[in-house]
Every structure is written in C-alpha cells, then in structure tokens.
C-alpha cells in the first residue's frame, strides 16, 4: 500500500522540479489560481504561513517594530519619483487604467513593493528628530507580473512582510539593516531548522534603489540556492526623492536614512525543498500545522476510539497541535497521507497498545518506529518535538556543509556546480567576472561572505591582488 501511494509523487532524484510540484499539490498546500501565475493557498499551506507569521511577528515587536498597513494601489507619479527604483520594477508592474467604468485621470499601480507609498506618508509624518527612529512593518500581498512561475517560489501575487524604518544617521540605518539580516538567519535556524549563508549582494544583484542589499541564501536538496530573505540599506536615496526631512537638535533640516527588509511565502517553498524526501513533506515542528496525528487502529473494537480521543486531548492540553483522524479510511492509507503531509509525530492506538499500556509512534524525520508509555505520552511527545526540531537542523546543516567546496579556478568552479554543490570563490568584484559565471555556468554570485580570501588571485580571471581588494563570494545556481 505504501509504495503504491508514494507513486503519486515523482522521484526527487530523477526529476526534482516535478517532485516539488507533486508535493505542493498533493499535500494540498496550494492549487493554481484562475489567473496565470497566481496560486490559491489552501488551509494546510496557509497554516504554515500563519505559524511563520506568528513567530516572526513576535521577534519584530520584541525589537521595537510596529505593524501598520498601507494601500495596495499606488499613483503612478509616486512610483516614478525614484528613477532607479521604477526602472527595476517596470517590467513586473501591473497597472490599473480603468475603475468604476471610467478611465482614470492618473493610472495606479498594484504594489510590487511599498517604498513609494510609505515614503510619501513618511514625508507627512516626520518633522523633528523626536519622531525618529520610526520602525514599521506591514504584512501584505504584492503583485509582480512574473513570466515564469512556480507555487511559493515565484508567483504573480504572493504574501510577505516588509519592514520600513527611518533613522537620524547612516550608522543607525546600517545597524538596523544588519540586525534584521541576523534576525532572519536566527529565525531560519531556530524555527525553520534551516541553515543559511548571509552577506552583502553584488551591485548587480542589489535591490533597485538601494545603496546596499544583504541576502540570506539557503541550500535546497538539489544543490540550488534559494534567496530566503533580504535586507536593504537605502541611504538617503528615497528620502531625497520623497523629501523626508527632520529638524535635528542642531537646528538644521536633514534628510532621514532608511532601511527595508522582507521575507515572503517563498519560505514555505524553502521548507519543502530543504527538508522533503521521497515520501513528501518533512515539516519542522515549530511550523507544522499538525505536530501530532493520532490514528485509531481497529477503531471498531471496544475502547479504542475512546482511548484515542483521550490521548488526543492530553496532547492538546500539553500545548501541542493535534489531529485525531477518525475518517472512514484504512489505517495504512492514513499513515501514508500523514507521512506525505510531513507531520512530525504519528501515534497509533490499537487494542494491543491499550492492553500493554503503550502507544506505537513514528517520527517523520527519521521514519523510526517505537512505543511510548501511555501514562507519560504528553511529556514524551513534547520532548520529541524539540528533538525532531534539533535533528532536522543538524541534518540540514550536515548536508549543506558537505555540499560547499572551494573553487580556485574556473574549471574547478564548473565541476563543483555540476556536482550540485555551492562554490566559494575568491572574486575581485569585477562585473565582467560575475557575468562570466552566469554565461559559462548559469550561476550567480549569491552573497559575499565575511571570510578571508583563501588565495591571492581571482577564481575567474586569475588576476593577483591584495586581500583588501578580494572577497570570498558564494556562487551557485539558484531559483
């Protein structure tokens, strides 16, 4: 029965993209929307997003940020104020020309990101140094008209959070940019059980309109990189374009310094591709919609259903997210479905279990099967959640570290990328070298790492230089 059920999912070693598509559809995370490139996030998928949102929101508020909400319709004139920004987003912008049956005097765009509308409001709200810093975040949807789409990874509409802060000095703004980058990396490690690389993006890869962009890159099981979050230091580019000034303590008017940062529902795609296996999802307990599923076996026999209800209630009282599966399906079918859905712990309750005072358990991360005493089940299940969370991170970290190699020249770089690994290169920051990585290997500089160069020549062009002019960069093929 198990083998037959799993045949519904492609072999991830043979066709990883199809495996991914099969998993997101068959586990009912999403379905395709009626407009090309859109997705409908189904309850199981949205529950993961809610858990991500709750965990992140608490971290944002603990660091002094407040939530707000800004309109999704932005006048075209606002978007046009910052030239580099509008040029970067122009190909993806959706424009509304007609509303209420009439042609609009000025077209409006559906937000691809909110810098423009937020800066417009900041220019009204900020007057004095006493108004600073202002640290806002919004949970919202955005629309970017993508040509090639895949659920969670790249869709025409998606959900995200975007933080926007303004400060009196460059130092404060840059500190915010880096603090949020580390907050994201800590969240990925502690909640998503996912190790990441963090660092500054190249000039080519930075956000349109930013002075500097920093990224968080995660390794997927097919050896590709996924940009899982970004933070941006805007400097005074937007404050000058939108005239956001404050009266400082010295009696002079000054332009504010700004940062921005965001993650999106792309994180769900990251979870799928960083932890999944041939049977489907493997979810970290901290974001799993269902942490424990309780399945009665031989439910028609005396006392089985009652004991299953009792066990589920005990687990709920212990603070666990629990599903009691009493559907009219065979236990084997249920086992397979919940395995595919990635539930961290399965508990089976049958006549023999009750007789022996135990429950039969199965961990999704290791597929290990064992028994636990019924009278201690809630405490043991809670402990297992922590163990599973830690084990998933350790497993993901070991996989990542074994798939990162040093590339001393272009031949080595090609071999490393073809072996589905990340490459660390020494780079002189020449855009021509960056372009060659893409031309020859369809790979990009993901981030520049805070590491000392392991050689005194550029991996790409072989030019010798001092350590001060060389950086260690992470090069990978990416989603």
Q: Is residue 85 part of a domain?
A: yes
Residue range 53-59: mean pLDDT, rounded: 98
In the sheet that 345-349 helps form, which strands lie side by side, from edge to edge? 322-324, 292-296, 345-349, 358-363, 369-373
Q: Is residue 125 part of a domain?
A: yes
Q: Is residue 287 part of a domain?
A: no
- Same domain (yes/no): 125, 159: yes
Percent of the chain clearing pLDDT 70 (strictly above): 99
Residue range 459-468: mean pLDDT, rounded: 94
In the chain, the number of structural domains is: 3
CA distances, 141 to each of 25, 57, 138 (Å) = 21, 16, 10
Q: Is residue 281 part of a domain?
A: no
- Domain span at residue 427 reads 404-476
End of a domain among 329, 354, 385? 385
Q: What is the pLDDT of residues 188-198, one digit of tens each?
A: 999 999 999 99
Look up the CATH number of the domain holding residue 378. 3.40.50.800
Q: What is the pLDDT of residues 212-262, one digit of tens each?
A: 999 999 999 999 999 999 999 999 999 999 999 999 999 999 999 999 999
What does the pLDDT read at residue 394? 98
- Same domain (yes/no): 325, 220: no
- Same domain (yes/no): 211, 349: no
What does the pLDDT read at residue 7? 61
- Same domain (yes/no): 329, 418: no
What does the pLDDT read at residue 114? 95
Per-residue pLDDT at 5 exceeds 50: no
- Same domain (yes/no): 370, 408: no
What does the pLDDT read at residue 6? 53
How high is the mean pLDDT of the chain? 96
Q: What is the pLDDT of residues 338-347, one digit of tens each?
A: 999 999 999 9
End of a domain among 243, 275, 307? 275
Look up the CATH number of the domain holding residue 258. 3.30.930.10
Q: Is the pTM of this model over 0.85?
A: yes
What letters, b where the CB count within 10 A reaches 16 and e where it falls short, cover 434-467?
A: bebbeeebebbbbbbeeeebeeebbbbeeeeeee
Q: What is the pLDDT of residues 441-458, one digit of tens each?
A: 999 999 999 999 999 999
- Same domain (yes/no): 216, 340: no
Q: What is the pLDDT of residues 116-149, one digit of tens each?
A: 999 999 999 999 999 999 999 999 999 999 888 9
Q: What is the pLDDT of residues 302-338, one digit of tens each?
A: 999 999 999 999 999 999 999 999 999 999 999 999 9
């Amino acid at each position: 029965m198990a083998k037959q059920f799993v045949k519904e999912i492609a072999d991830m070693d043979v066709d990883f993209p199809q495996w991914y598509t099969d998993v997101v559809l068959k586990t009912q995370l999403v379905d395709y929307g009626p407009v090309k490139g859109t997705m409908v996030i189904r309850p199981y998928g949205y529950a993961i997003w809610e858990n991500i949102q709750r965990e992140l929101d608490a971290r944002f508020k603990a660091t002094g940020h407040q939530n707000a909400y800004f309109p999704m319709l932005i006048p075209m004139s606002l978007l046009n104020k910052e030239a580099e920004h509008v040029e970067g987003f122009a190909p993806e912008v959706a424009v509304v020309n007609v509303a209420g049956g009439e042609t609009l005097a000025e077209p409006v765009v559906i937000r691809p990101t909110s810098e423009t509308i937020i800066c417009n409001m900041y220019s009204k709200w900020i007057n004095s140094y006493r108004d600073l810093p202002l640290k806002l975040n919004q949970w919202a949807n955005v629309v970017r008209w993508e040509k090639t789409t895949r659920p969670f990874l790249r869709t025409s509409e998606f959900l995200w959070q975007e933080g926007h802060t303004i400060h009196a000095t460059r130092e404060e703004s840059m500190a915010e940019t880096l603090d949020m980058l580390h907050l994201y990396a800590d969240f990925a490690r502690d909640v998503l059980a996912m190790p990441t690389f963090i660092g500054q993006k190249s000039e080519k890869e930075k956000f349109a309109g930013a002075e500097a962009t920093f990224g968080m890159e995660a390794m997927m099981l097919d050896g590709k990189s996924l940009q899982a979050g970004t933070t941006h230091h805007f400097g005074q580019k937007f404050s000058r374009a939108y005239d956001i000034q404050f009266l400082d303590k010295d009696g002079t008017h000054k332009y504010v310094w700004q940062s921005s940062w965001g993650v999106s529902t792309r994180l769900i795609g990251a979870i799928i591709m960083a932890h999944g296996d041939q049977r489907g999802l493997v979810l970290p307990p901290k974001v799993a919609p269902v942490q424990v599923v309780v399945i009665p076996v031989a439910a028609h026999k005396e006392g089985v259903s009652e004991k299953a209800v009792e066990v589920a209630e005990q687990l709920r009282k212990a603070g666990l997210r629990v599903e009691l599966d009493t559907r009219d399906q065979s236990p084997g079918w249920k086992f397979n479905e919940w395995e595919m859905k990635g539930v961290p712990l399965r508990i089976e309750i049958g006549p023999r279990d009750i007789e022996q005072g135990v429950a039969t358990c199965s961990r999704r991360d290791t597929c290990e099967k064992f028994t636990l005493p019924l009278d201690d089940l809630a405490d043991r299940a809670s402990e297992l959640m922590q163990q599973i969370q830690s084990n998933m991170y350790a497993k993901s970290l070991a996989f990542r570290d074994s798939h990162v190699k040093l590339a001393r020249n272009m031949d080595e770089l090609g071999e490393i990328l073809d072996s589905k690994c990340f490459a660390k290169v020494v780079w002189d920051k020449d855009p021509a070298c960056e372009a060659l990585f893409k031309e020859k290997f369809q790979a990009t500089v993901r981030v520049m790492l805070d590491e000392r160069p392991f050689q005194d020549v550029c991996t790409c062009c072989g030019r010798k230089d001092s350590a001060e002019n060389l950086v260690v960069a992470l090069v990978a093929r990416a989603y």
